[in-house]
Amino acid sequence: MSRSFDPVTIARELIRCPSVTPDEGGALAYIEHVLTGVGFTVERVVFKEPGSPDVENLYARIGDQSPHLVFAGHTDVVPPGNADAWSYQPFGGEIAGGMLYGRGAVDMKGAIAAFMAATCDYIQTKGKPKGSISFLITGDEEGVAVNGTIKLLKWAAERNITFSHCLLGEPTNVDTLGDTIKIGRRGSLNGTLIVDGTQGHVAYPDRADNPIRGLIKLIDHLLAEPLDQGTDHFDPSNLEFTSVDVGNQTVNVIPAQARARFNIRFNDRHTQESLKELLRVRCITAAKGRVRWWMEFEPSNSDVFVTKPGPFVDLVVSAVESTTGRKPALSTSGGTSDARFIKNYCPVVEFGLLGQTMHQVDERTAVSELEQLARIYRTILDTYFAGI
């Protein structure tokens, strides 16, 4: 890797930008400065939505042909919390004991720095690619995610920009760099199970109808059998109740209503609609016409997806293995990411640093792993534009 495009130097500069969601913090300005210096055309786009903060995003591209490889990521970070609890200042970008400390070091300014270094080095040594390279960088992935990637992708589509493949730099590795690539993500669905009763005095239960009894019966039935047994690329879907509430202010009143919130992380055996129907049928069976119940579901943009193994997945696996000596597992575990939006436009694979310290005090990455990640990305670029 060329000294002039050192991933560690770039990562330190990005960490020093206090880009806590939704603030740009100077991070996008720095990326624009570096990329325009090697020939990229850069556009910074602000998206707005009533009830949410304005968010600035960045799209950069070099080349105008296919294939078109896009690197996606986010420069926004979660708040650092109490800065005094950190060993080093959260936006200091300090190096100690071979580790780079700072908010975003892992999630995910480190990966952005590695890809910037790899791309700039590629262009410096080989010239413009026989195709196109672009950066799709958002500023609200850690927030409500309404003014970032989802709108930037639509913005690109309106300009007839199409992508061949995407590499998303989320921290995917579990224990060692090179152990895991994410080829998919589970869907996520939030809902509330509500049971109506009849309020009354606890001393006269015959004059009331306690909704808690019905709620317990429905919850027990919903959890009695698994939602599925898993699929080729996914673990079994899971339903978890996360709160139960009756809003009761006193102990001698039978409540009028009981509510239970839940979340389902689901695999590719289901859609949001098929899950809703499955829950409805189970509740009807359990209620037997004697429990007054209904469900409310929150809007969700977190659908399940999988990028099935093929040439692009094989290319990334090969680059990781040739650089680290490890053949990565193809995983679909974890929460959601912006890949849930990108998958509607092109195949997407996720690979970045170790995720062990993301969102924690003293978030950090090994300098050697950051440098190794840049070499992996450089190998991907070399192979990709040599022909998949």
Average pLDDT, the chain: 96
Given a cut of 80, whether residue 387 has pLDDT beyond it is: no
Give the sheet arrangement for strand 180-182, strand by strand.
Answer: 41-49, 52-62, 132-138, 68-74, 165-168, 348-350, 180-182, 329-331
Give catalytic residue positions.
Answer: 76, 141
Which has the closest alpha carbon to 263: 187, 199, 377, 176?
187
DSSP conformational letter for 326: -
Residue matched to tokens 């053949």 = 327
The pLDDT of residue 164: 98
The pLDDT of residue 4: 65
Angle at 82 between CA 77 and CA 87, to 5 degrees: 90
**Residue range 277-284: average pLDDT?**
98
184 has which bridge partners?
306
Rounded CA separation 83/87 (Å): 9
Give the whole-number percent of the chain exceeding pLDDT 90. Answer: 94
Which has the closest alpha carbon to 135: 184, 168, 106?
168
Given a cut of 90, whether residue 3 has pLDDT beyond it is: no
172 with 373: CB under 8 angstroms? no
Say if strands 180-182 and 329-331 run parallel, antiparallel, or are unpaired. parallel
Q: How far is CA 164 from the centre of its chain?
A: 20
**Residue range 132-151: average pLDDT?**
93
pLDDT bin (cut points 50, 70, 90) of residue 388 is low
Rounded CA separation 249/247 (Å): 6
Rounded CA separation 252/254 (Å): 7
The pLDDT of residue 335: 85
What is the per-residue pLDDT across 229-275, written as a single tens digit (0 to 9) for each? 999 999 999 999 999 999 898 999 999 999 999 999 999 999 999 99
77 with 87: CB under 8 angstroms? no
The pLDDT of residue 285: 97
**Residue range 199-218: average pLDDT?**
97
C-beta neighbour count of 289 within 10 angstroms: 6
Q: How many helices (H) and strands (E) does the chain have?
A: 9, 19
C-beta neighbour count of 1 within 10 angstroms: 17
363 with 357: CB under 8 angstroms? yes
